[in-house]
Structure 1
Amino acid sequence: MRDTFVRTLVELAKEDKNIELLTGDLGFGVLQPFWEKCPDQFTNAGIAEQNMTSVAAGMALTGKNVFTYSIGNFPTLRCIEQIRNDCAYHNANVKVVCIGGGFVYGSLGMSHQATEDLAILRALPNVVVLAPADLIEAEECTKALAKYKGTAYLRLGRGGEKRIHDKIENFQIGKAIKVCDGAKIAIFSTGAIFEEVTVAKDVLKAKGINPAVYTFPTVKPIDKETIEQIAKDFDLIVTCEEQNVIGGFGSAVAEVMTEMKQRNAILLRVGLNDEYSVRVGNQKYLRGQYGIDADGIVEKISKLI
């Protein structure tokens, strides 16, 4: 995803000289194409992410369209005061980009595991929150954010994510994307955890269960219309996220369902069960340890039904 993001941003920045990219002293192997082709639109802010965010806010308030870039929790939780006070409060045109959402940097321990970011950024007024599931969604999210006026958060994987879509027609911030039809059960996911959902779907189909599948590249504003329709027509909605279940994507879906006057579906949220990871390992290993891999998704759905 990160290569797709950079490639897309380079093309956009070549056409729009107001686009600026700031990095917190990392990502040079990935960001090199940007500074080579748009050298006057690139700044290395050093290992000072709070300063980077405040500088981005200042640049945005002078008319620039600014993207900040770092890994895991560094551009988000480390900078939450600056995002809130300097960016979101002023509706500044700053897009915070996290590479390595969830357990991508799991081998570096919980300090590098971005597992509360969706909930915390979603709680800030005036902040759009995006988490694409594949390369095509990442490209479309980047294009949409370049046009969006205001503060936003883009949560990306690292690399090697599978491609879901051949193309997306009429991508819009705030709209879910149907991957396949199904009956009785609908699985919603956000972000790169979708690769586990695809495996889980195939296993469930072999068991005679045919779930509909939707990706939600936008966590905020959430697609209320799709959620409400599925909640009326289906028996079970399952949300999958590489994130704490408290306050994240599943909570956003729950909020919509709770306010419905009539609905048929119940909700199952799959994610970290309000805990930090005390284990260390790669992303795939940690997904399995905390029951959010394909096997865990299948087990939770099978047990419930």
Structure 2
Amino acid sequence: MTQLAKERSDVCLLSGDIGNRMFDHYKEVAPTRFLNCGIAEANMMSMAAGMALSGLRPVVYTITPFTTTRCLEQIRTGIAYHEAPVVIVGTGSGLSYAELGATHHSLEDLAILRSIPNLQVCAPTDSLELEAQLREAISEGKPTYIRIGKKGEPDLLTDHASLGIGKAHFLKKGGKVLLLGIGPILSEALQARTMLEKQDIQLAVASMGSIKPVDNEFLQQCVAEGYSHWISLEEHHRTGGLGSTLLEWFSEQQINTIKLTRMGVVDHFVHKLGAQEYVRESEGIDATSIVNLVQSL
């Protein structure tokens, strides 16, 4: 954001009372283009819509539930309906804030926001993909939602030049089973692949990057390469996210030769408290759970 503020005089940053010290460098570059909107996220979203319709390129940033479901009407009517060029960033998505309980989980956001017209829905795997998607969203001026992790997730994608919205990538190829994931949880898939290799089992792993738009050409390539069983992996409810998107794609393409198993949180509120790794394990979306599933297949 600091670099974008240097490059473009229309880039603005709106924060919902979070991480203000992390924006110190940005504020040195663009002090008049940073607004701490406090815990008034619906107002913040309406402000961003108005700024966008006035020729600016606002980026809205706060914890995912508070930049999505708390201000859903403002996203739908103020931004998407008017095709206002706002980028909405939800930080700490999925179970990143697992120790704070269900109010801070975001396991419904993909399902809800991908149903809204005109809105791109992204979940970058790492910081490299995030940067590419952010630049593209601001450059093209399309309403865009980007869900990210909390902090410290490893960079998993190396080909920075080919990253962007609606672009999927293989991380690893091989075997008959293909895991398609979205977001930082793909680190669990790569760990599972390493564990499976010790048992002479190959697992192909791919990053989708976004589910609206979905990379139709990449999915057709996966079909052509003959993977007989697909697994979808997401730090989100099984309902309405990546797994549901793939099922819809199969239906639209009239593909009935591939089996799909969806890995995600089942349809319930998660009451367990603890580290993200602990809750991922308890919800069956960690590396060991992936290994067990692949073995059973």
| TMscore range, shorter length | over 0.9
Task: Write out per-residue CA displacement over residues 3-32 of structure 1, whole angstroms, 9 at most, x where no aligned residue.
Answer: xxxxxx111111111111101111112222
Shift of 1:47: 1.1
Asked whether the 8 Å contact 2:118–2:143 carries over to 1, the reply is yes
Match of 1:271 in 2: 264
SS in structure 1 of the partner of residue 290 of structure 2: helix
Work out the CA distance in 2 between the residues paired with 1:127 and 1:31.
26
1:83 is matched by which residue type in structure 2?
A: I
Shift of 1:262: 4.0
Work out the CA distance in 2 between the residues paired with 1:231 and 1:264.
9
SS in structure 2 of the partner of residue 84 of structure 1: helix
1:69 aligns with 2:61: yes
* TM-score normalised by structure 1 residue count: 0.94
Counterpart mapping for 1:1-305 below 5 A: 9-232=1-224, 233-303=226-296, 305=297
How many equivalent pairs are there?
Answer: 296
SS in structure 2 of the partner of residue 157 of structure 1: coil
Deviates more, 1:75-84 or 1:22-31: 22-31
Task: Write out per-residue CA displacement over residues 170-203 of structure 1, whole angstroms, 9 at most, x where no aligned residue.
Answer: 2231110111211211111100101111111111
Work out the CA distance in 2 between the residues paired with 1:131 and 1:138.
8
Task: Write out per-residue CA displacement over residues 61-115 of structure 1, whole angstroms, 9 at most, x where no aligned residue.
Answer: 0011110010130011101110001000000011111110111111111000011
Work out the CA distance in 1 between the residues paired with 2:197 and 2:27.
47
SS in structure 2 of the partner of residue 73 of structure 1: helix
2:10 is matched by which residue type in structure 1?
A: N
1:256 is matched by which residue type in structure 2?
A: W
Work out the CA distance in 2 between the residues paired with 1:71 and 1:41.
20
Shift of 1:34: 1.2
SS in structure 2 of the partner of residue 60 of structure 1: helix
Asked whether the 8 Å contact 1:101–1:155 carries over to 2, the reply is yes
Deviates more, 1:60-69 or 1:293-302: 293-302
SS in structure 2 of the partner of residue 147 of structure 1: helix
Asked whether the 8 Å contact 1:228–1:260 carries over to 2, the reply is no
Work out the CA distance in 1 between the residues paired with 2:141 and 2:152.
30
* TM-score normalised by structure 2 residue count: 0.96
With over 3 angstroms needed to count, the CA separation of the structure-2 counterparts of 1:188 and 1:136, relative to structure 1, is same
List runs of 5+ in structure 1 lacking aligned partners: 1-8
SS in structure 2 of the partner of residue 208 of structure 1: coil
With over 3 angstroms needed to count, the CA separation of the structure-2 counterparts of 1:234 and 1:264, relative to structure 1, is farther
Match of 1:4 in 2: none
Task: Write out per-residue CA displacement over residues 269-303 of structure 1, whole angstroms, 9 at most, x where no aligned residue.
Answer: 10001111011111111100100010111112222
Deviates more, 1:237-246 or 1:222-231: 222-231
Asked whether the 8 Å contact 2:15–2:35 carries over to 1, the reply is yes
Work out the CA distance in 1 between the residues paired with 2:219 and 2:196.
22
1:22 is matched by which residue type in structure 2?
A: L
Work out the CA distance in 1 between the residues paired with 2:209 and 2:39.
29
1:224 is matched by which residue type in structure 2?
A: N
Shift of 1:263: 4.9
SS in structure 2 of the partner of residue 25 of structure 1: coil
Work out the CA distance in 1 between the residues paired with 2:228 and 2:266.
23
SS in structure 1 of the partner of residue 66 of structure 2: coil
Match of 1:5 in 2: none
Work out the CA distance in 1 between the residues paired with 2:140 and 2:66.
23
Deviates more, 1:224-233 or 1:213-222: 224-233
Work out the CA distance in 1 between the residues paired with 2:138 and 2:109.
21
SS in structure 2 of the partner of residue 247 of structure 1: coil
Asked whether the 8 Å contact 2:92–2:148 carries over to 1, the reply is yes
Q: Please identify runs of 4+ aligned residues in structure 1 that moved more than 4 A.
A: none
Shift of 1:266: 0.7
List runs of 5+ in structure 2 lacking aligned partners: none
